[in-house]
Amino acid sequence: MKSIFPFILLSVSLQPTQKPAIQQNNSTQVQPVQNLFIITLDGFRWQEVFTGADSLLINDEHYCPDTSTMKMLYWEATAEERRKKLMPFFWNVLASKGQVYGNRLFDNKVNVSNFYSLSYPGYNEMFTGNTDIAIASNAKRKNPNVNVLEYLNGKKEFNDKIVAFTSWDVFPFILNQQRSGLKMNSGYEDMGEGSPEQSLINRVQNEAIYDKEATRHDELTFVTAKEYVRKNKPRIVFLGFGETDEAAHEGRYDLYLEKAAQSDKMIAEFWHWVQSTPGYKGNTTFIITTDHGRGKNSFSWAHHAFFLKGSSQTWLAMMGPNISPLGEMKNEGQLYQKQIAQTIASLVGENFQSNTVAPAIALK
């Protein structure tokens, strides 16, 4: 379970110094798509995304009790081979069809702008397009800030066609479900759909899962989302996986890798479904990212906070008919998580108008 960290509210002057973002306007200048899937892997480091399993951690029995099996599954001699072994869909399909940002080995950077480098502040930034100094922990309190999904839900063409499925049960507060009116299913919450498949999923959650206070298993989040999307055909889907962060906080690098590999497989399955389903095929874009980074070494990788170096470092991937297939971005540059909100709106042909929103990412 995620910890709730109390923090003294700090002045805005303590925000880290930022380089200018890559782009300066509010338009991606790409043709809008009909459908958009936003997928997050909570607390998944850029290091594993771009270089695969960490040699120090996969060989450490404290974090990886069965090192031989994990190395058989996820270890190769080069970073390129390791990352493909860990996330084959990401690197064999997404990277060839889309754009991947955040490999700091090429000085291509993605960072959070919020001071805290925690989940609630990170998701607030991601969906509202700005930071909020008052959102300083993961406490379950209703977000006063309007998010981009809420804004789009108020548009006639998107109303009742946006849905969020999340493993972490704090999202109804982050996205302020009560005010926004968004359709959501979070934690071990029954979906309430009448199909036999959904009834079976509800039964598994109710009868086979005993620790309902924990983050829901990502696989249950995935099958619930897939069944709903198959039946109802929403236009915008947010899918929030949470088990990578849970495994890391437990200090289990082996489970952390397993959950990342499982997420890659589920994303691949969703993409395959999209590309073989009328109405979605050729008219759907995926955005995949994370809410924060983690510590950089074998002593700090399991944790993240404002004082822990590496916690603000993230990554971003996009793929779809309006995303040029440029692959891994190897140019020097800086993006910020707060740019994602306006990018979400721009990709579906809208402009997110809410107070001060960071400009969208300039897609090539």
What's the rounded Cα separation, in Å, for the pair 345 and 28? 10
Identify the pLDDT of residue 196. Answer: 82
Where are the chain's structural domains? 23-347
- Residues in Cβ contact with 171 at an 8 Å cutoff, skipping those fewer than 6 apart: 123, 164, 184, 186, 240
What's the rounded Cα separation, in Å, for the pair 37 and 16? 30
Angle of helix 218-232 relative to helix 196-208, nearest 10 degrees, comes to 160
What's the rounded Cα separation, in Å, for the pair 116 and 183? 28
CA 153 from centre of chain: 20
Residue 222's H or E segment, with its range, is: helix 218-232
CB 56 within 8 A of CB 298: yes
- Residues in Cβ contact with 253 at an 8 Å cutoff, skipping those fewer than 6 apart: 54, 57, 58, 60, 63, 64, 70, 247, 301
Identify the pLDDT of residue 232. Answer: 94
Q: Considering only CA atoms, which of 77, 32, 86 is closest in space to residue 256?
A: 86
Identify the pLDDT of residue 193. Answer: 65
Residue 300's H or E segment, with its range, is: none
- Phi, psi dihedral angles at 165 (to 5 degrees): -125, 120
Long-range Cβ contact pairs of 17-22 (< 8 A, separation 24 or more): 18/111, 18/113, 18/334, 18/336, 19/334, 20/334, 21/334, 21/335, 21/336, 21/339, 21/358, 21/359, 21/361, 22/333, 22/334, 22/335, 22/361, 22/362
- Residues in Cβ contact with 213 at an 8 Å cutoff, skipping those fewer than 6 apart: 1
Q: How many CB atoms lie within 10 A of CB 164?
A: 25
CATH for the stretch 23-347: 3.40.720.10
What is the DSSP track for 126-171? HHHSS--TT--S-------SPPHHHHHHTSTTTTT-EEEEESSTTH
| Residue where the block lists tokens 């782009």 | 23
pLDDT in tens, the chain (364 residues): 565 443 333 333 333 333 333 333 444 468 999 999 999 999 999 999 999 999 999 999 999 999 999 999 999 999 999 999 999 999 999 999 999 999 999 999 999 999 999 999 999 999 999 999 999 999 999 999 999 999 999 999 999 999 999 999 999 999 999 999 999 999 999 887 667 888 888 888 888 776 777 799 999 999 999 999 999 999 999 999 999 999 999 999 999 999 999 999 999 999 999 999 999 999 999 999 999 999 999 999 999 999 999 999 999 999 999 999 999 999 999 999 999 999 999 999 999 987 789 999 998 7
